[in-house]
Amino acid sequence: MSSELHSHEPATGAHLWTGDVGDVDAEVAAARSGWATWAARPFTVRAEALRRFANIVRARHEPFADLIARETGKPLWEARTEVDSVVAKVDISIAAYGERTAQRRLDSPMGSRMALRHKPHGVLAVLGPYNFPAHLPNGHIVPALLAGNAVVFKPSEKTPAVGAYLVDCFHAAGIPAECVRLLTGGPAEGRALSSHPDIDGLLFTGSARTGLALNRAFADHPEKILALEMGGNNPIIVWDTPDLHTAATLVVQSAFTSAGQRCTAARRLIVEDRLYDPLIELLNKLVGRLIVGEPHADPQPFMGPVIDTEAADQLSEAFLGLLLRGGRAIRHLERPVEGRPFLLPGLIDVTAVRDRPDTELFGPVLQVIRADDFDAAIAEANNTRYGLSASLICQTPKLYDRFWANARAGIVNWNRPTNGASSGAPFGGVGWSGNHRPSAYYAADYCAYPVVSNEAESARANIGIGLRDA
């Protein structure tokens, strides 16, 4: 087994980064040695350190964005928005901590006082994904540090360079090195970290398959916190709307931003039968105009490649599988550059496909389904084990009320894309999309636990009933 990890640019195949595979035991031990001192610091000190981190990232904005673009293949404009999100996360997390985990005094009898405070868990492992290799792990790390935890962060083996750069920004801000540890490696290191006896919890963003395995592994450890942020087989419904051009634009933004590599990306388009032909015509034309190219191309592309050739091959095979099951290609999923993981977005009508696979096709593939009444459209939207994001494009408020009441998802949107969730709100789903521990603004909830104390300056007690006479 190699002791080095290598990263290559998906758009060009060029070598980008080499680093040593980390030592799990050593990284956890280092975090264990430092977390108590960090937790003992006042919250204001920890918050100020995280604000310095935001300033470091702000000062390194362009090289950080360039690295993200090169290692993920996403367009430079999108990589810049990811760095913006990393910076913004600090102030959002400080506000969330104050709201979700603030100290409080509660009413208490007999002259005592009731206090509500929160304590950190200790050492938290963070497993990050490749699609947003800075923003998504940062969304766990910042609130964990604010709460007083130490973190061992393992980035995806597909984007280790961004992970290393992110950790360097924390250290450059003066956050103790033992409190933010970088663990580079592959699946073996991820498994070793998640099962390590000296971590107090795991914060995970990634696939449902891995999340389900972690859920089973942690079933015997109720003393450890587990927060799972997984994927989605997300529906977008177009119904009773006169502006089909806008509807097509919202569908494209939902399905193909980030080359479809977002957990909130629309995977299924459910269309009112009478709108099908005109919408598909507009959608097909719009998709045909999308620029797919390398991150620094001029003009800037709408989307870049998927993360690697293995992912591109799997998506091509899944598209072919839908065709073999009876799907009708509206626009084939094409590979325009031989040997590189660029994909031209694919559209496929699967209305006639029985027993459609309930899987998250993590790339630019959109399945289209006709529906002849709104109840059937909602039933189709809920025809999944996942429950992350769902959107309705419609001009009828009463239909949205029905959709909101019946859609089984943690994010339910109206005339907006399925993606683009705000960090100032909770983010999470139900079913196979998470384990009821939403992240983003609610991340403070799983980074600290509440402690209630009944307190008095002096001891006072008596037994007023049930005693024999002295």
Catalytic residues: 229, 263
Q: How far apart are CA 282 and CA 247, in angstroms?
A: 9
**Tokens encoding 372:** 């002849």
What is the SS3 assignment for 266?
strand
Enter the tokens of residue 135.
Answer: 């923003």
CB burial class (10 A; 0-12, 13-18, 19+) of residue 231?
A: buried
Two tokens, residue 334 = 């094409």
CB 453 within 8 A of CB 122: no
371: left (phi over 0), alpha (psi -120 to 50) or beta: beta
Q: At what angle do helices 43-59 and 61-72 cross, to 10 degrees?
A: 70
Which residues have CB under 8 Å from 211's CB, separation 6+? 204, 228, 229, 230, 432, 434, 435
- Phi, psi angles (nearest 5°) of residue 4: -120, 155
Three-class DSSP category at 251: helix
Separation of CA 90 from chain center = 17
What phi and psi, each to the nearest 5 degrees, are found at residue 432?
-80, 10
